[in-house]
Amino acid sequence: MGHWLDRNIIEPGKLPLLLALASFVLTFLITRMITRLIRAGKGPFGNVTAGSVHIHHVVPGVILIVAGGFGAVASGRHGFGSAISAVIFGMGAGLVLDEFALVLHLDDVYWTEAGRKSVEMVVLTAALVGLLLAGFTPFGVNDLSEDELQNRAGVAGSVAVNFLFSLIALSKGKARIAVFGVIIPAVALAGSLRLARPESPWAKRFYRRRPRARARSILRAYHHDRRWSGPRRAFQDWIGGKPDPPRPLDRG
């Protein structure tokens, strides 16, 4: 284990990335545990307030990100300073992305259906950083041969093509595939070739005069959502807690 760690993590200078990922995931899990205890009225924890103002944990998260980011820039990839900066940055990122939905909506939607976006963003970020830690590089440049890497035109062409595939996948309403496709070219290619989701810009532009393609798109999206929405919601509830039920409309 020690030899593997030295060879694959420490020597390539990936230790700060590993520490940042570990502190990011751990901070998110601890934060969710505390907020769920506060929500249930258990334990010694409570909301932090300054007078009548509720201080959301995105605030210290931003401070930690700034401190860790500047510290990382100043210290390089090796040494004690880079390790501490990575941990600080990961903690800040965990706090900020735990309230990603609040930042997105500029509203306290933490325990609402919209708050699920925070859990999705944390899982997506952890997965992408894990891929980078495993050796994948953006746009699949690591898949090129030594001769191709020496040819700048070949590298630029590979990046441009894969970026185009990712953009097509994004325009087809496949945001997760587009993001992962930046790291793994085959994912972007598959997303660009598959049918677009019916509400996507691609479908509105290219399926408008193709009723069969539009019907297939709607049917595939229906079956996909019916199959995966339940397990995805259960996974999100297990990690981040179940959202509050929507309030009934006031008909008074």
Is position 101 within any domain? Answer: yes
pLDDT in tens, 229-249: 899 889 989 999 989 887 665
Is position 198 within any domain? Answer: no
Is position 41 within any domain? Answer: yes
Is position 197 within any domain? Answer: no
> What average pLDDT is seen over the chain?
87
pLDDT for the residue numbered 252 = 45
What percent of the chain has a predicted confidence (pLDDT) above 90? Answer: 58
Is position 2 within any domain? Answer: yes
pLDDT in tens, 199-212: 999 999 999 999 99
- Boundaries of domain holding 76: 1-135
Instruction: Quote the number of domains for the chain.
Output: 1
Contact 23, 92 (CB under 8 A): no
pTM: 0.83
Task: List all residues 6 or more positions away from 98 whose beta carbon is below 8 Å from its beta carbon.
Answer: 27, 28, 31, 32, 57, 58, 61, 118, 122
pLDDT in tens, 54-81: 899 999 999 999 999 999 888 876 778 8
Is position 69 within any domain? Answer: yes
Is position 217 within any domain? Answer: no
Q: Which amino acid is at 35?
A: T
pLDDT for the residue numbered 129 = 93
Is position 3 within any domain? Answer: yes
What residues form DSSP beta bridges with 54? 49
